[in-house]
A and B are shown apart, each in its own frame.
Chain A
Amino acid sequence: MTAVAISLVVNGERVDADVLPRLNLADFLREHLKLTGTHVGCEHGVCGACTVRVNGDIVRSCLMFAVQTHNATVETIEGISDSGEVSDLQSAFRERNALQCGFCTPGMLMAAQDLLKQSPCPDREQIREHLSGNYCRCTGYQAIVDAIETTARARTGRLP
């Protein structure tokens, strides 16, 4: 099986690589680019730990082959952390103890930020629904929903 040349933009930087077709995007990011913030949990699309953005939309990086990202723009947790895009969400997670082991957190932040971009004032039910594809096995979801709700309020100037 021969390698395929791909060219894409990852966190604002052009990346050219030769990849085997069977390599999934999560492994490409982690093993080839050393962007290990994207976590690999179930490898069949159930847990959400590998959530990244491709062309602005959140996707499961375990359910895309790297070859499918030719000409695409990919953003990982490293990219949206470094740019400061989610710094308020990250602070809210820390303050509310919305993480314990941290394995699910990159995916949670990706999904939460996606929701807040589309709907700035979600209610708790909408938050739960948007995060329904992301598993946390430590804290339960109450604190995560709290942190996202608090961030939404702060961003829209509705803090008490």
Chain B
Amino acid sequence: MKAAAFAYARAASVANALELLTAHGEGAKVLSGGQSLLPAMNLRLLSPELIIDIGELDELRGIAVNEGIITIGALTRHADLLKSPEIAAHAPLLTAAVAHVAHPAIRNRGTIGGSLAHADPASELPACMLTLAASMIARGPKGERRIAANEFFAGIYETALAPQELLVAVELPVPPKNSTHFFHEFARRHGDYAIVGLAAQAFVRDEQFADLRLGFFAVGDRPLLAMSARKLVDVAVTPKVLSEASSALDDELAPLEDQQATPAMRRHLARVLLARCVSSLLGRADLGTGASP
């Protein structure tokens, strides 16, 4: 199908975009790369009265690393993240994740800000933001504020952004040196939305986790930073310990049913991912089969 009619405004600056958002608020939608917005409009799931195109605001593009903080402009495209040597060096989890975001032609247009503001619970980057303890920088009529990733995602396609606010950048603390990561997702076809996925960051010392952050996606109405990871930190992980963590994870999940999978299948796959992740990060092949309840 085709998008319904709308009025179009090309923002000349961030200030101009904010003026338009203040004037039109709920009736307006911000267009960055459009790779989630346009499908939704073409399918008539969304019919905004006004589109505010921020695509030409170059000030919102780019990646900078300063004093242990990676700042990524909202308009930075997935293709830019994938090719960025800074991201590969300082947040390789993100490089691994972005390779799974849709297909090359979509990564050439889609932006990190668009993906986060869209907040699809099955998409990769929101979960990575939780895992990497990112802050979202939102600018509105009253100035700028930082929103922690765990407060940003509020439900299916819902975020803590007010209708008058624009997501301008994200900030990630650079993970400590020698920390490791794991990324995997199950999807029907490479690049499709995940059935279940896991973005993990860890610090392993003396064959134990000194830190473990597990960001699951497509396991509920928003990405989940699993608290059950705590059961695996500062202990010798045995099959029994992993099995307990796996049960605790199960209690945290609230998977939805859709045409791709039942909740039971998603629960199973989340436990499979947990076992593979722990096995891979600890270099313990014996733990990789610990998925069964």
**Is residue A24 contacting chain B, with contact meaning CB distance below 8 A?**
yes
A113 CB → nearest B CB, Å: 12
Is B240 among interface residues, defined by CB-CB distance under 8 A? no
> From residue B125, how far is it (CB to closest CB) to chain A in Å?
17
Interface residues of A in 59-91 (CB under 8 A from B): 59-60, 62-65, 67-68, 70
On chain B, the residues within 8 Å of A68 by CB distance are: 31, 34, 53, 55
Is the CB of B1 closer than 8 A to any CB of chain A? yes
Chain A residues whose CB sits within 8 angstroms of the CB of B43 once the complex forms = 44
Whether A140 sits at the interface, judged by CB under 8 Å, is: no
Q: How far is the CB of B39 from chain A (nearest CB, A)?
A: 4
A56 CA to B190 CA in the complex, in Å? Answer: 24
Binary contact track A143-158/B, C-beta < 8 Å → 1, others 0: 0000000000000000
* Contact call A132/B189, Cβ cutoff below 8 A: yes
- Assess the B105–A22 pair: CB atoms within 8 A: no
Say yes or no: A63 contacts B38, CB within 8 Å.
Answer: yes
From B4-12, B20-28, B219-227, B258-266, the one touching the partner chain is: B4-12
Which residue of chain A lies nearest to B49 when distances are taken between CB atoms in the complex? Answer: A1
Measured CB to CB, the nearest residue on chain B to A61 is B105
In the complex, A48 Cα to B189 Cα: how many Å? 14
* Per-position 1/0 for A90-132, Cβ under 8 A of B: 0000000000000000000001001100000000000011101
**B42: which A residues are within 8 A, CB to CB?**
24, 43-44, 62
Chain A residue at smallest Cβ distance from B1: A43
Residues of A within 8 A of B10 (CB): 67, 70
A133 in contact with B105 (CB, 8 Å): yes
Residue B163 lies at the interface, judged by CB distance under 8 Å to chain A? no
Residue B166 at the A interface, CB < 8 A? no
Question: Once bound together, how far apart are the Cα atoms of A102 and B63, in whole Å?
Answer: 41
Q: Which secondary structure characterizes the binding site on chain A?
A: mixed
Q: Does A57 contact B (CB under 8 A)?
A: yes
A63 touching B39 in the complex, CB below 8 Å, given contacts A57-B108, A133-B102, A133-B103: yes
Q: Is the CB of B6 within 8 A of A22?
A: yes
B35 at the interface (CB under 8 A from A): yes
Which residues of the partner chain B approach A1 to less than 8 Å between Cβ atoms?
A: 5-7
A59 lies within 8 A of B105 (CB): yes
Contacting residue for B106 out of A43, A63, A129, CB 8 A: A63
Q: A63-B34, A63-B39 are in contact. Are A114 and B3 (CB under 8 A)?
A: no
Asked whether B62 is an interface residue with its Cβ less than 8 Å from the other chain, the reply is no
Whether A67 touches B8, Cβ cut-off 8 Å, given contacts A43-B42, A62-B38, A62-B42, is: yes
Q: How far is the CB of B75 from chain A (nearest CB, A)?
A: 13
B residues whose Cβ falls under 8 Å from a Cβ of A: 1-8, 10, 31, 34-35, 38-39, 42-43, 51, 53, 55, 79, 102-106, 108-109, 189-191
5 interchain pairs, CB-CB under 8 A = A24-B2, A44-B39, A45-B39, A48-B103, A59-B109
Interface residues of chain A, those whose CB is within 8 Å of chain B, are: 1-2, 4, 20-22, 24, 27, 43-45, 48, 51, 57-60, 62-65, 67-68, 70, 111, 114-115, 128-130, 132-134
Given contact pairs A22-B2, A65-B34, a sample of 12 additional A-B residue pairs in the complex whose CB atoms are under 8 Å apart: A4-B8, A21-B5, A24-B38, A27-B2, A45-B102, A57-B109, A60-B106, A65-B3, A68-B31, A111-B105, A128-B190, A132-B103
